[in-house]
Amino acid sequence: MKKANNKKGILMFAHNNSEIDYFRLAVVNSLLIQKNLGIKNITVVTDPFSLSHAEKTLGKRLIKKAINNLVVVDKDKKFKEKNLRLFKDTSHNAKHLQFYNVNRCDAYDISPYEETILLDVDYLILSDTLNQCWGHNNELMMNWKYQDIMYERKDPSLDRLYDMGITMYWATVVYFRKTEYVESFFNIVKHVKNNPQFYKDLYKWQGTLYRNDYSFSIAAHMMSGFVDKGISQLPTTLYKSFDTDDIHSAIDENTIIMYLEKPRSPGDFMMTKWKDLDLHIMNKWAINRISEKLMDYAK
């Protein structure tokens, strides 16, 4: 691991499951980050299996070009087998697969940077808007507000941990600096992860799946003095598409044409051109299908 002498950088986590090649997504996004944000300091946390698969499919040279700091950790097998999530490749294809997200709470300890932007690998960087975060007065920022790119679609269940609960923050993009306050924040995230039943009873999130959005939201609530929406939002809006959507094509390193599922007609789509704004694409298969093209544009 690199020493903490780097001023600013990006951190992502990439652990493959039996179907989704998260490491490939990390490579695609790293190339987009270099192209659109101009940032070379990119750390990806992965496991030996995901890395060796990527070395076979992408080659060591491309990986080195995309990511300048790889952190290889072993997976917690018990957690891996327990945390299953429903993944969709549009409404036509849904599968229960392992969802390995347990070590995101270690982001603070792993990051070698004084200023870090923690990203989901499927949050594609199609613009330079995140550069507004560097040097910010707020030491920790993440969004609770999001915007579906199908503007007609509304899902109030994503606003709170449960109907009467605290506001849900999205751990998709998190900016943080290395300060005492942020260290305490991540300590609480870890505590939630290690004691999920206690916090589930207290904050009443739905289902059995462990999500970082929950633990980050609870930490945000506690670290704000038990006040809702106490942590500042990022200076950029979080735009999302959902796993029921698909990608038509990538036009260049800033533009993607999407198929968006119509809200009142499941399985039926409309199209939209998404340009110059970062986008969270939940359909991982869709990104993998256009990954070659995106890599070519961003190289």
Binding site for other proteins (CB under 8 A): 127, 129, 132-133, 135-138, 147, 149-152, 232, 235-237, 239, 248, 257, 260, 262, 270-277
Identity of the residue, 79 or 239, whose beta carbon is nearer to other proteins in the bound complex: 239
Q: By the 8 A CB rule, do 40 and 34 touch? A: yes
Shortest gap between Cβ of 153 and other proteins (angstroms)?
10
Identity of the residue, 113 or 269, whose beta carbon is nearer to other proteins in the bound complex: 269
Identity of the residue, 48 or 266, whose beta carbon is nearer to other proteins in the bound complex: 266
Identity of the residue, 94 or 271, whose beta carbon is nearer to other proteins in the bound complex: 271
Q: Comparing C-alpha atoms, which of 250, 248, 249, 252 is closest to residue 260? A: 248
Identity of the residue, 65 or 262, whose beta carbon is nearer to other proteins in the bound complex: 262
- For 167, which DSSP code? B
Q: By the 8 A CB rule, do 199 and 210 touch? A: no
Shortest gap between Cβ of 237 and other proteins (angstroms)?
7
Identity of the residue, 151 or 226, whose beta carbon is nearer to other proteins in the bound complex: 151
Cα gap 53→63, rounded to integer Å: 12
Shortest gap between Cβ of 181 and other proteins (angstroms)?
16
Shortest gap between Cβ of 276 and other proteins (angstroms)?
5
Identity of the residue, 57 or 147, whose beta carbon is nearer to other proteins in the bound complex: 147
Shortest gap between Cβ of 141 and other proteins (angstroms)?
9
Neighbours of 135 (CB within 10 A): 10
Q: Comparing C-alpha atoms, which of 223, 222, 226 is closest to residue 139? A: 223
Identity of the residue, 86 or 270, whose beta carbon is nearer to other proteins in the bound complex: 270
From start to end of 104-254, where are the E strands?
113-119, 123-124, 140-142, 146-148, 173-177, 238-241, 246-252
- Please work out, in degrees rounded to the nearest 5, the angle formed at the alpha carbon of residue 71 by the alpha carbons of 97 and 137: 95
76-91 burial by CB neighbour count: b if 16+ within 10 A, else e? Answer: eeebbeebebebbbbe
- Amino acid present at 130: L
Q: By the 8 A CB rule, do 85 and 97 touch? A: yes
Shortest gap between Cβ of 45 and other proteins (angstroms)?
28
Shortest gap between Cβ of 220 and other proteins (angstroms)?
15
Shortest gap between Cβ of 260 and other proteins (angstroms)?
7
From start to end of 178-292, where are the E strands?
238-241, 246-252, 255-262, 265-275, 279-281
Residue 266 main-chain phi, psi, to 5 deg? -55, 140
